[in-house]
Amino acid sequence: MKNLNDNLAPGTMRMLDRRSTLQRRSFLRGGGLGAIGIAVIPAAGIAAAKDVAAQQSFRHLGAATGKTLLRMARDLYPHDKLAESFYVEAVAPYDAAAAKDKGVKTLLTEGVKDLDQRARQRYGVPYAEVKTEDERVALLKDIEATPFFRKVQGGLVTGLYNNKKLWPLFGYEGSSWQKGGYVNRGFDDIDWL
């Protein structure tokens, strides 16, 4: 959506043009480029890159625990359009905390072992390999009262949503008090809702 008022006076509300600007030519061009991209980039390479990022990020907790925490992060806060790197960034502080505090390390590793054991009992595979999101969410609901779950869930809220690089992807313009607040700056211009 394009901004109708590019040169707004300070303190005035911006207006958004809500009409679709997609044209046939740009749609076809984008579809052709997408088909080329799919043909050129093998899915196995993408999956391998995710595993490498996870292994590099979890020196103290280990790759298996890191992989489970990443899958858990995606299931607790699912945003299909977010790159894996944002979730790795959100989960990485757990590894740093585990390096400093043996109690945190024990809580996380034992919590992941318990979650994996529950997944193996129910589905025959560790949590990170359970096929559907609904099955994984059912497992998470079983442990939601545990200290492990609360620790991971609570840390991920700030780890993910305090990342300023993500704010534009969510449509959040950042803090407003420095600019006079939201009342005169389009508090109701949420165009993704």
| Residue 145 belongs to some domain of the structure | yes
Nearest by Cα to 107 from 155, 139, 141: 155
Listed in sequence order, the DSSP H helices in the chain are 24-40, 43-57, 63-76, 84-100, 102-123, 133-143, 147-161, 167-170
Count up the domains in the chain and report the number.
1
Q: For residue 193, is it within any domain?
A: no
Rounded to whole angstroms, the Cα distance separating 85 from 186 reads: 31
Q: What 8-state DSSP symbol labels residue 16?
A: B
pLDDT at 42: 46
Mean pLDDT on 173-186: 72
- The answer to the question of residue 33 being in a domain is no
Asked if residue 6 is part of any domain, the answer here is no
Is the separation of the CB atoms in 84 and 95 below 8 Å?
no
* pTM of structure: 0.67
Residue 38 falls within a domain, yes or no?
Answer: no
Q: Is residue 138 part of a domain?
A: yes
**Residue 15 domain-assigned (yes or no):** no
d(C-alpha 91, C-alpha 156), whole Å: 7
For residues 106 and 39, the model is more confident at 106
| Dmax (CA) of the chain | 62
* 113 within some domain: yes
**What span, in angstroms and rounded, lies between the C-alpha atoms of 128 and 116?**
8
d(CA 188, CA 191): 9
Structure letter (DSSP) for residue 3: B
Q: Is the pLDDT of residue 5 over 60?
A: no
Structural domain harbouring 77: 48-170
**pLDDT at 175 (0 to 100):** 77
* Res 38 pLDDT > 70: no
